[in-house]
Amino acid sequence: MADEFIESFDGTKLRYLKEVTPQDKAVLVMVHGLCEHLGRYDYFAQKMHEAGIGTYRFDHRGHGRSEGECAYYDDFNQILDDTNVVVDRAIAENPNIPVFLYGHSMGGYTVALYGVKYPDKHLAGIICNGGLTADKKGFLSAVPEGLDPHMQLPNELGDGVCSVKEVRDWYLKDPDNRTSFAAGLAYSLKKGLDWFQTVKSQFAYPCLLTHGEKDGIISYEDTVEMFEMAASKDKQMKIYGGLFHETQNEYCRDEVIGDYIHWIENRL
């Protein structure tokens, strides 16, 4: 099947996958994390489809098969505005059913900041998993200041993404994963978090915040703080004991994805 692309706000072509049916009772826009791509969410999407929830997925610019310099941003708004193009498409194409937004890791960062920058979208709720919303683990602050923004840094996430060996092994072999990311990406995300710290209390969408307790990449304390600060009247949090970063790929992934499905169904 040939790749499809959606044109973003500045003309950048993003690889894009829409999987919906006329029978769907809801739609979920899915936002992936750093150095990965939409294909890593095939199982997740399949489970959504089995539950009658259509999905929209895309590769971030500079990721997977999308256009753009390798894993590079020069402004934190780019990732938010790319996501907005897909969200707007999903809302426009599904006027009669609820649209939800999900993000993992850097995608969690994206949907969290998105919720403040775009407070008036017709979104029924936002799910943030393993979200980089405060950098309490120091992932971004470990990148030295003053580097050439276009300098590529090695992607060393592999060992920490999941406790399941097969997932870790394939992560390192996956041809659509990036083996490096640009210093400029880290700088832009840091600026985004600096902004988010001043406005986090304005996040008001219904939200489900989840995190693996043993996440060695992004601390679950990021999620706890987000939960405490969010203005949402409808907010829930679940920290999965013993799970690593990619809760959606862990040995109990069906339980995790099932929690997402139930949360969505309870808001229809």
What's the distance, CA 200 to chain centroid? 17
CB 54 within 8 A of CB 164: no
- Confidence category of residue 1, pLDDT binned at 50, 70, 90: low
Categorize the per-residue pLDDT at 218 as very low, low, confident or very high, splitting at 50, 70 and 90: very high
Give the CA diameter of the chain. Answer: 52
Band the pLDDT of 105: cuts 50, 70, 90: very high
Residue 141 CB partners (closer than 8 Å, separation 6+): 135, 190
User: Domain spans of the chain?
Assistant: 4-265
**212: part of which helix (H) or strand (E)?**
strand 207-212
- Which CATH code of 3.40.50.1970, 3.40.50.1820, 1.10.10.10, 3.40.50.300 fits the domain covering 4-265? 3.40.50.1820
CA contacts within 13 A on the Cβ side of 247: 30
Residue 103's Cβ-side half-sphere holds a number of Cα atoms within 13 Å equal to: 30
pLDDT average, residue stretch 80-94 = 98
**Short-list 109, 123, 111, 103, CA closest to 41:** 103
Do residues 184 and 150 lie in contact, with contact meaning Cβ atoms separated by under 8 Å? yes
* Reported pTM: 0.97
Terminal CA-CA length for the chain = 32
